[in-house]
Copies of this chain bind each other. A is one copy, B any other.
Amino acid sequence: MVNIQTNSIAWETLLDLAAYDGPRHVRLELAVRDAVASGRLPAGAALPPSRLLAASLGVSRWVVTEVYGRLTAEGILDARTGSATRVAASVGITAPRPASAPAAPLRRPRFDLVPGVPDLRHAPRALWLRAMTETLAETPDAELFRLDGEVPAARAAVAAYLSRSRFARADASSVVVTHGATDGMRRIARTLRGLGHAALLVEDPSWARMRQVAAAEGLASVPVPVDEHGVDVPAMVAASTRTGARAALVTPAHQFPVGAALSPERREGLLAWARAVDGVVVEDDYDAEFRYDRRPIGALQAMAPDRVVLVGSLSKTASPAFGVGWLVLPTWLQGTIRDAGAATPSTLDQLALARFLTTGGLDRHLRAARTRYRRRREALLAELGRALPECPVSGIAAGLHVVLDLPPGVRAADVVRGGEQHDLGLSDIRRYRVSPDAPAPERLVLGYGDLADPLVAEAVRLLAQVVRNAGRGL
């Protein structure tokens, strides 16, 4: 019991009702709660009899008994018969924690050549808002109450979109709506782990986040080299034989980051391998909607819907903020993945996604985005040809990035560091290696998704400057 001299306390100061809004009993309740929470009234402290406190504070006695009763019911005060009302011994005072440091405002580099970022200035905010507005205006009440997270209209809309845009073999039953590609990968990995898989063949280099979530779910990454025809399928078969891995994560339409399209022979070889080992191919279709020299190559999934899981999202095509993506699954995986216990996007988001797809919102956005990215890519290549003619640029005319080979003697790490001085965001291709310390050619992956069009020339001028400085050891 704390020996607190209640007589000497200025109760009207400790419980300052003027600091609160509302009726008196509410203000007194808040004042007592704050005094207890802050430790000014510690566990065991006695409160004055209600008559005395009422007089000190200039309130009716009812106000005090009401508040004492309420806080006693809650266990904050303790009012044993025949003794003073006290702060309960069980109240665990924690020193007020420091408020979280205010989050640094998010920002992108002014000259943003970092890959993996779409054009943030042109996110289809208005088209998405329209889909959301119509959804909120028109969805019947009962549709807004779903215990099961799956919204059939969203699954059907995704299936229709992928059938026409990616020639996928999809129907509503094969689609799972996810939060995005990473979430999709996590769910596949968890499911494969549950089925006994322990390893995942991955392209090297590749987008690190996808293999990291698989690794976090227990699938070890088995690296397979990549060349200008995409992933080296004979090497993959050999790695599968060596390790027993029967699952592969690939980017057939546009290898990240090398920028190759998987050759027809390799597509065939990959599927033959998957059939031979009773395996699974995870097709990360991350930017296949953007192809500038021809219509996009169809999804590998169409050739073997029983072996290929197609992973996609709106993150690169529209905005990562919408938090929606999808999986297209072989029949035999559909039940298992649904049982793996992961939250789906909200009913509202799934209904908005369905509208965004079926009313042509995404198509409209993609038409504009393709034109914008194609022009930006052309401008970037033209500037690179002028400013760095000695540096080969590679990658098919697709997606949101190219690969730049640096001149002999120039280290990519130095160039990246040099760029930071000018607010020029760059990426060493080593970032995407499974083992970043292995010897590798000196290359940059230049993303132009978020590069502002008026800054293309200036970005390349700065890049050429830091390349030359790095070459001179500066």
Contact = CB atoms under 8 A, between A and B. Distances in A.
Contacts of A450: 145
Contact of A346 (B322, B347, B351): B322
Contacts of A239: none
Interface in A305-356: 305-307, 319-324, 331, 341-349, 351
Contacts of A107: 142
Interface stretch (A125-133, A383-391, A405-413, A431-439): A125-133
Contacts of A264: 72-75, 78, 88
B261 A73 contact: yes
A469 interface: no
A22 to B, nearest CB: 10
Contacts of A70: 294-295, 297
Contacts of A123: 141, 144
Given A37-B302, A323-B346, A120 B144 contact: yes
Nearest to A271: B90
B268 A169 contact: no
A217 interface: yes
Given A146-B321, A264-B73, A295 B132 contact: no
**Oligomeric state, in copies:** 2
A143 B125 CA distance: 13
A171 interface: yes
A362 to B, nearest CB: 16
A413 to B, nearest CB: 22
23 contacts: A29-B295, A70-B295, A75-B267, A90-B272, A91-B303, A92-B304, A92-B307, A94-B305, A97-B171, A97-B173, A99-B171, A100-B155, A100-B172, A105-B142, A106-B142, A120-B141, A126-B136, A182-B343, A186-B341, A321-B351, A322-B348, A323-B345, A323-B347
List 8 tightest A-B contacts by C-beta distance, closest first.
A323-B346, A75-B267, A144-B321, A103-B152, A120-B141, A179-B343, A75-B264, A321-B347
Given A89-B268, A342-B343, 10 more contacts: A37-B169, A70-B295, A74-B264, A75-B303, A76-B298, A120-B145, A123-B141, A147-B320, A178-B343, A323-B345
